[in-house]
Each structure stands twice: as structure tokens, then as C-alpha cells.
Amino acid sequence: MISRWVAFAALLAIVAVPFAVRPRGAPPVVDERGGGESERLVIVTPHQEPVRFEFGRAFREWMAARGRRVEIDWRTPGGTVEIARYLASEYTASFRQHWTGALRRPWSARIAAGFMTPPPANAPPALPGDEVAAARQVFLDSDVGCGLDVFFGGGSVEHTRHARAGRLVDAGLVGTRPDLFGPEAIPQQLGGQALWDKQGRWMGACIASFGMCFNRDTLGRLGLPIPSSWAAMADPRLHDQVAIADPSKSGSVGKSFETIIQAEMAQAGVVEGWARAMRLIRRIGGNARYFTDSAAKVALDVSAGDAAIGTCIDFYGRFERETLTAIGHPERVGYVAPRGETALDADPISLLRGAPHRELAVTFIAFVLSDEGQKLWAFRRGAPGGPQRYTLARLPMAPRLYGDEFADARADLGENPFNAGDRLDYHEAWTAPLFGAIAFVVRTMCVDTEPELKAAYRALAQAGFPPAATAAFDDLTLVDHATVSGPIARALRSVDPLAEAAWSRRLVEHHRALYRRVAALARAGR
């Protein structure tokens, strides 16, 4: 018995030591006019190491030239979906403490579920005594924070959601920096897509396009040409060769699928375009090598030859091209944004409510939007004013950087999003209200049913696409436009999690049965 207690005491000491010696609180932050310690800026981001390295290095040097020592504390909990969950959780905990502690008011499940939920645009005024409306107003009037300063990257859809929830606040730049915002600088819209929030709660840091990365060697072995449209990924010869990320795990991947839908709607109208896009997405899913949780994995696997083609945001595709060029293989990997089929999006930066280092955070945002910051996105590694270690190969927000005087320094190979013919004009009303529903449908129609989907599409191709089997494969029962924009969208907006779960189970079971029936029909030659 004594020996057991001795062992237990030793184990307890081992566990307790790290907690006893860990530093308490955040590192010290000195007066912003300078001092012995560095100032600290906390940024949450889905951006990968190249972006973090180049902007961290450049901002430190830029601030040092102004007599201030700065260090950036990068927080990377995952992609935009994980960041959204993290921010929602942290703000809920922080506001609850403020509500019950400082204000001494009772907390409830209704307040927790509703204080960051904006009311519908046509909702009647809140009734007197509505605790949720009162809590929301207190939150919007407060400086409640989550210990973070800046949200950097993630797409305009995500930043708009955070802004509507109240987690983002006006950085004070849109109305005070005409050199950055306005007709002579960064326009408010491009091709129907907002580049910055009119209330100043988020601003595009660079422009993102969505397309395909491809491996020329693998395509050559398969006898396939360089892709020029989204439909190229549906070619049956690409069976098991298309790398795709789960759109419910990545905002940029969700934007890729939204772009496919927008392109079809531009050709055939909203309802028929939706149907055409769903059938195309289903065929692309039938060629999937996998559906990964990591959007970055797609370009890496295409680069390695583990897949022939994949959907990706421009940065991942161009970065792999630049990496291979640096080691002597410039032709192995390419990236294409299908001409006339690709909508653009702002990749924003924003100030978080209650930022503990607000002045420094606003200074960083202004730096990212300045010529010094924009050149980091656009210029090749080693070009004057450009990045030092990594060529980021992103499209800058500032139209002036597309001028001929910068052509030799830019890494975008002559792409210019301000040329109308290269882009697909975005119609927000068509798909923006369904952005979450699109990811939900793709997940249940393709990701959760991957084995059955791939088997069905393979059987179809091997049988030469017989009519009955093909018609069954193209059946859109439960995922037609009316159903998705109606009951499915309402279920996803519901505060009842069981509503979403019920639709998820229904869709998965329906599609598994559908794909098994398609495979049987195809094998029978029908």
C-alpha cells in the first residue's frame, strides 16, 4: 500500500510540475512608443507558413524602421470552419462572464444561442423585455473580446458572417484613408463581388480566384489535354484521379463549388443552372480520389503525381508551380482559373471586437493594404519590395500594381482581375444565401457517400452510360433548387440541431440507395 502511495505521489508531481512552472498571463506589452520589450499582436488565420512568414517579417522590419519592436503571435486552429467555431466559443464564454459578472444578469440557453445571431432583415422590432434582443444590443455596444486582435484570411463569406454576428468592428480605415479605398484606389466591388465592407468591418487583403491545379505528366499519361473548364474534371478517364477537399471544412473549397454553380446559372438561369451544376458536381465527385479535410493537401498531391487534377484556391496552385520551378521542374504543375467560369473573391482582413492591442492591429491592417503589403502578395521572391523566401503569387487588391511598370516583378503571369473578360460576374442573390447549404448538399451527396458514388460512376462509364442508369444518376430528388433553398436551408438556419441532423441522415441514405441502384442498372446494361 505504501509503495502505491509513493508511486501515486511521484506521478502527481510529474503532472503538476509543468503547470507550476508555466508562465502566467500573456507576455508583457510595453508602451507603444517603444521600450525594452516587444509589442505583441495576436492574429488568428487559416493562412499557411509562407504568408505568415513574409508578412510577419516585413511588418517587423517596417515597424522597426519607425522605432517600434513588434512580434506577431500567430494562432492557427485550422481552416475557416474551425476558426469560426473557435471565435464563437471564445466570444460566448467572454460575453457570458461579462453578462453574469459585470452586469449581474441571469444567463440562459436562449441568450447563448441568440446574442450573436442577427435578426432577419424584415423582422419586426423586438418586444420589450426580450432577453435575447437586450443581450445582443449589450454585446454590440460592448468591448467584449476573445484575446485576439486580427482575423487574417478566410474569404468574404466568412468575414461577412462574423461581421453580422458582431465579432468584427470598424477599423476606422474605410472612411479615413481615401488613398486605400475608393474609385482611385480599391473599388468597393469587382464583378459583383464586394472587395470591402461599407461599414469598415472587413477589407480585402488580396483577390482570390478559384480553379484547378493539374499535373501535366499525369494528364499526358491519361491522354488528356490541359483543362480549360470545370467540366474537364468530370471526364470518366479521370476516375480516382481528382483530388477534392470537403467544402464543409474549408471556406475556399465551398467557394469553388459556389463558383461552379454560378457559372452554370449564368448560362442556363437559376433553376436549370442549379440542376446542371448538381449533375456536374456529382460526376466530379464520382472521379474523386478522396475528399480531404485539408484544402492545402490537394495541390501537394497533384504536385507529387498522386492525383492528376484538383480544385484549389489560386494560391495553392501557383505556390506549387513556383516551388517546382525553383527546383528545375517548371512544367510539371499548372494552375488554371477557367476563363469566364471563375468568380473572384476578396480574401479579407478584419479587426476583432475587443482587440487588446487595437492601435497595433489597425496599423497592421493598414500595412497589409499599403503598397508595401500588396507587393508581398504580387511580386516574385527577391524582386525589390517583394517577398524574401516565398513567392506568394496572389492577386493584389490595388489596381495600380497591375501597371506595366510592375510587370517584370509580378508573379501572376499577366493575370488581371480588373479585365472583365477574364472573370465570371458574381450574382450574390443567386447563391450567397445558400452558401452553407451548398456545402451541406455536396457533403451529403458526395463526401458521406463516396464509396457508393465512385462505384456508380465507374459502372456507368464502363457500361458506356446506358440511358436508364444515366437518367437515374442524374435524378436530383431532394437536392433540386426548390428543396435546397426551401426546407433544407430552413433546417440549417434552425437553432434546433436535430433539424440539420435529420436532413443529413435523409440525404445520405437516399443517395446511397440511389447510387447502388445506378450501379445495378449499369451492370445490367440498362
Residue 213 DSSP SS3:
strand
According to DSSP, residue 355 is labeled: -
Q: Which three cell numbers stand for residue 236?
A: 470518366
Residue-range domain boundaries for the chain: 38-124+132-206+346-416, 210-342+427-523
User: Using an 8 Å Cβ cutoff, are 216 and 334 in contact?
Assistant: yes
Amino acid type, 145: G
Neighbours of 110 (CB within 10 A): 13
Distance CA 222, CA 247 (A): 27
Q: How far is CA 157 from CA 16, 119, 400, in A?
A: 44, 18, 26
Distance CA 164, CA 166 (A): 5
Tell me the backbone φ, ψ of residue 490, rounded to 5 degrees.
Answer: -65, -40
Amino acid type, 420: A
Task: State how beta strands 189-190 and 395-396 pair.
Answer: unpaired
Q: How far is CA 183 from CA 172, 177, 390, 400, in A?
A: 18, 12, 31, 12
User: Which residues, at least 6 apart from 35, have a Cβ–Cβ distance to it below 8 Å?
Assistant: 69
User: Using an 8 Å Cβ cutoff, are 148 and 86 in contact?
Assistant: no
The residue to which cell 476558426 is assigned: 83
Distance CA 256, CA 263 (A): 11
User: Using an 8 Å Cβ cutoff, are 75 and 148 in contact?
Assistant: yes
pLDDT tens digits along 479-502: 999 999 999 999 998 878 899 999
Show pLDDT as tens, one digit a residue, over the chain (526 residues): 444 443 444 444 433 433 333 333 344 444 444 456 899 999 999 999 999 999 999 999 999 999 999 999 999 998 888 999 999 999 999 999 999 999 999 999 999 999 999 987 777 787 788 999 999 999 999 999 999 999 999 889 899 999 999 999 999 999 899 999 977 799 999 888 999 999 999 999 999 888 899 999 999 999 999 999 999 999 999 999 999 999 988 877 888 899 999 999 999 999 999 999 999 999 999 999 999 988 888 988 999 899 999 998 888 877 777 777 777 766 788 888 888 888 789 999 999 999 999 999 999 999 999 999 999 999 999 999 999 999 998 999 988 999 999 999 998 767 888 876 667 889 999 999 999 999 999 999 999 999 999 999 999 999 999 999 999 999 999 999 999 999 999 999 887 889 999 999 999 999 999 999 999 999 999 9
Fold of the domain built from segment(s) 210-342+427-523: D-Maltodextrin-Binding Protein; domain 2 (3.40.190)
Superfamily per CATH, domain 38-124+132-206+346-416: Periplasmic binding protein-like II (3.40.190.10)
Same fold, 38-124+132-206+346-416 and 210-342+427-523: yes
- pTM of the entire predicted model: 0.81
